[in-house]
Amino acid sequence: MGRRLYLTVFESSTPLSKSYRYDEATGTIEKRASAQMSDGWATRRFIECGPFCTRALEILGQRLDGLSHLQAIGLGVMRDGVRRTPITTLGRLARMSGDSASSTLARSLQHFTFTAGPGLVLIDNDGGTGTMERLADICSPLRGMASLTRAAMSASIIHPGTGLTMPSAGEHVYAVIDDQRRTKEVLTLLHRACFAFGHGRIDLSKAGSFLQRSAVDVSVGSPERLIFEGRPMAEAPLVVRERPISLVAGTMLDADELAAWAEANHIERRYRDAVHALESDPELIERRRAVQAAHADELEERHRQAGMPSSEARRRARSTVQALSRTSLKTGVICLDPDDVFVTGDHSGVSYRTMLADPASWHGTIGFDPEEGEAYGHTTAIVYRGDHGGLVIHSQAHGGRTFMVDPPLSDVQLKALKDIRRAHARAVREGGHGLAALLQAVRAKPAALTRTIADRLVLTALKSGLPRTACVHVACASGCGADDARALVERLARRATIPRSLGEAHHETTG
């Protein structure tokens, strides 16, 4: 019996494709990205799929070839069976009312999901070709899997007079998975298998953070994510030719078989060992120190120009760089300083302190990655109003990550927090019990005050190594009710740098 494979076609009033022009002076082809969708339409489509997936992938390739520069696709579908609807940004949707609000959606996990059962999956390799050959060589469950490989968009651009082309740096591989809801799990597993078999590498971000790189980009495994497959825009004399594709016959990917293979081959352990070895390379560590120092100098100068005293500017800059300095094996929310600056999509810089004065008005703002700044895409990150009175920023950069900016503490709150932390640290140094010392320090302050800093106190407990059950006691001592205390600990535990695990729930991205 056949099965339908669903996808979403997005249509925008602005280009969703890259543009290319020929530079006469340098004799080279220049590429410019233009892929921001603020308004448009989303339409659900489907492809019939039989026991073998080859024909369905062939039809997918034909449909991708027919997309215009105003179109892109997503592999998720709109919730509640919606087939066609207007699309806008989260910020604009939050300001709508009446019929407009009820009939319009935003590209978020609130409105998009993967389907139960077979569905399309994308393996996005930004750094090379021969993706399926490499993955099938190390991962036996992928042998015999049907796949459609499309070269990067740049491969379709040519100067007809000189024959000049752009080197193709990557490719998209489409396949069919037996349960599309497990997309993130499968991509994570394949990424880790690359490292386990020696095909991963560690790069450095602008701030010196360790970044994992492989033939599999895990961040594309989210249902609301845009995939740019539309026709590129080329200025004369450049022309767009047919994009190279490769279709391999076979069957769908069995997620259970892949998971069993990973367990039998100890992929998780080998992945962690490989990453640790790469991050311990003396040459990489030395380069990292230089990058971190340069980034700290840049942040310090920015703070000085904003009127901050030199000593405080230096301290804030070093603190920000330190917050970003962690092994890539650990995940969780990255905390930013309120005086750091977010660069919006129109290249305007605004401090988080300004945003915190009115978080609702900045909800849904799109811009650059908080760490990489303007060196990355202008639609990479999106700002949300946090439920803690602060800001939450989701970024697609480097596989996807989440930043948080807490509202600044008052002088009274800050003094209470410092007193409690010092008392706790002193007791632990003198051999006291960590939990007992922290509870005693918390209870020595007025409950009305500790309730306002309960989240900071729970984070202190988590980062000191106390188990979550003990952290619940800290939250209760701070003035939280039992249910609120458990919820607070669970939420804040995701902010501590906790090692990743297969099947971990992914955070919201914007694509």
Two structure tokens written together for 179: 């349960």
Residue with tokens 């700002």: 383
In angstroms, rounded to a whole number, what is the distance separating the alpha carbons of residues 450 and 457?
Answer: 8
Predicted TM-score (pTM) above 0.85: no
Round to whole Å and give the CA distance between 395 and 241: 33
Helices (H), 337-464: 352-356, 359-362, 411-429, 434-443, 447-450, 454-463
Distances (CA, A) of 58 to 10, 70, 182, 248: 21, 22, 23, 9
- Taking the CA atoms of 345, 223, 362 and 71 in sequence, report the sign of the dihedral they define: positive
Return d(Cα 413, Cα 418) in angstroms, integer.
9
Rounded CA separation 222/487 (Å): 25
pLDDT tens string, the chain, 511 residues long: the values are 468 999 999 999 888 888 899 998 998 998 876 567 778 999 999 999 987 899 999 999 999 999 999 999 999 999 988 899 999 887 788 788 777 778 899 888 889 999 999 999 999 998 888 999 999 999 999 999 999 999 988 888 999 989 898 876 789 999 999 999 999 999 999 999 999 999 999 999 888 889 899 999 998 899 998 999 999 999 999 999 888 889 999 999 999 999 999 999 999 999 999 999 999 999 999 999 999 999 999 888 988 888 889 998 898 888 888 877 777 887 667 878 888 888 888 888 888 889 988 888 888 888 888 888 776 777 788 898 876 678 888 887 776 778 888 888 888 988 999 999 888 888 877 776 778 888 988 999 998 999 988 988 988 888 788 888 999 999 999 999 999 899 888 877 765 543 332 222 233 333 3
